[in-house]
Amino acid sequence: MNKYDFSPKSELKAIHELPDPFLKPDGTRVQTREEWPEQREYLKAILTHYLYGTMPPPPGNTRGKVTFSRKVYNGRAIAETVHITCGPEDAIQFDCELIRPAKEGKVPVITWNQFKDRHGSPDEEDAVLNHGYAIIEFEKEQLAQDNANAIHGPLAKAYPGYTWGAIAMWAWAQSRVVDYLATTEYADMDRIVATGHSRGGKVALCAAIYDERFALCAASGSGCGGAGCLRYLGGRMGEGIGICETAGSIEDVFPFWWSDNFGEFGKRVATYTRSNAPLFEDFQQAAGMLQSQVLGKTQDEDRLPFDLHFLRACIAPRPVITTEGLSDTWANPYGSQLTWRAADEVYQFLGAAGKNVLAMRDGPHEYQKLDWIHVIAFCDTMFYGKAPHKNIQRRTSDARTQMDGIPGVDWREFCPHFSWRMPKTET
């Protein structure tokens, strides 16, 4: 990755709209598609510096061994436990649970960073037997604990000197799963998917940004640091309504998820860093530590040189779908719509109309069966050209849909929080 001169917070000027992803380091704008690969590297470097932290390169020695195998679903599928080793002196070791169709030939594979003690998709049988997908899951806490001990865990010890937080550590591990899949006879390496929910959705986005072997990203309820928005917050009723997680509130309890640079932004009631964050036993305990006075309120996030539409922009033109619950105020559904729309300028610019998708349904902060249906349908559309699901919001070049209650306004064209547009290109 190229070296860039990034300014400290004290030298950054406020940007009172979603930042322009086409703005190059020299202050000029991208004009042609040929310039985008270099611009993408610049955007990735911004995210590395201000959000994720630095990560080690691929280890080059990833190996996997099947330690348990059995037939399931009346012999129509195979379930396996895979032990993966990699890193310096094989210091990194973790287990994955895999289920795949019991048939010859290559199949698409969904990689899933899972929560501790959880297993199984909302509709595994349908995905594997009816759609022909393999699913491989791993508990991300095998690599880094979901508390302040993350920076003292196996990955941090094996790779000292990097500034990565737990989100990047878990994403790096998800890429090691892809390393293993590349050694198998059944994985279609042109159809590898990254998924996860909540902080796992943040991980899936990070993994897809830095590893282009992920042909498609499907992030569920990822919110702050994911598909949400840092500058603008709101629930299903609009901006400023509801209690959303902010850069400041997330840093009060989860500073170990990110680069320390990210912790300098947003309203803070605590002064925790990755090295002195409080330990907690489970997520509910951590959630109870959040201070209500900073939820849903921003302070100086507008001094960040990026917002979360950059995440989708860095994945472009590869397909991305984010699934959201309209009642999931925590995950900022209003902001998710803004970043989806802003990132679509990049997808349109790259000739990838329809590959940037937002699927919203009623309900809370969960990875529900309807989300899963949307993900599988989108994968089928992108991988096999099947008709898109009727409930998925897709902005294509000929799409025109009015905003509810505002006659004559196309909500796919309405952009209330940014003034820039994609450069004009010849199609």
CATH class of 1-427: alpha beta
Residues whose CB is less than 8 angstroms from the CB of residue 311 and which lie 6 or more positions away in sequence, other chains included: 47, 205, 206, 209, 226, 227, 339, 343
Half-sphere exposure of 68 (CA within 13 A, CB side): 8
Strands (E), 262-339: 320-325
Is residue 417 within 8 Å of 231, Cβ to Cβ? yes
In 3D space, the residue among 187, 201, 169, 150 whose CA is nearest the CA of residue 308 turns out to be 201
CA–CA dist 67, 93 (Å, integer)? 13
Tokens of 233: 């917050």
Give the bridge partners for 394, in sequence order.
Answer: 357
Tally Cβ neighbours within 10 Å of residue 400.
Answer: 9
The vertex-283 CA angle with 282 and 289, nearest 5°, equals 105
pTM of the model: 0.92
Cα dist from 160 to 124, 151, 255, 272, whole Å = 38, 10, 18, 21
Is residue 248 within 8 Å of 267, Cβ to Cβ? yes
Residues whose CB is less than 8 angstroms from the CB of residue 241 and which lie 6 or more positions away in sequence, other chains included: 234, 235, 334
Output the tens digit of pLDDT for each of the chain's 427 residues: 458 999 999 999 999 999 999 999 999 999 999 999 999 999 999 999 999 999 999 999 999 999 999 999 999 999 999 999 999 999 999 999 999 999 999 999 999 999 988 887 888 999 999 999 999 999 999 999 998 888 888 999 999 999 999 999 999 999 999 999 999 999 999 999 999 999 999 999 999 999 999 999 999 999 999 999 999 999 888 887 788 888 988 888 888 999 999 989 986 656 566 666 666 655 555 656 555 555 667 889 999 999 999 999 999 999 999 999 999 988 999 999 999 999 999 999 999 999 999 999 999 999 999 999 999 999 999 999 988 766 555 554 444 433 344 445 455 566 779 999 999 876 5
> Which amino acid is present at 213?
R
Give the bridge partners for 6, in sequence order.
Answer: none
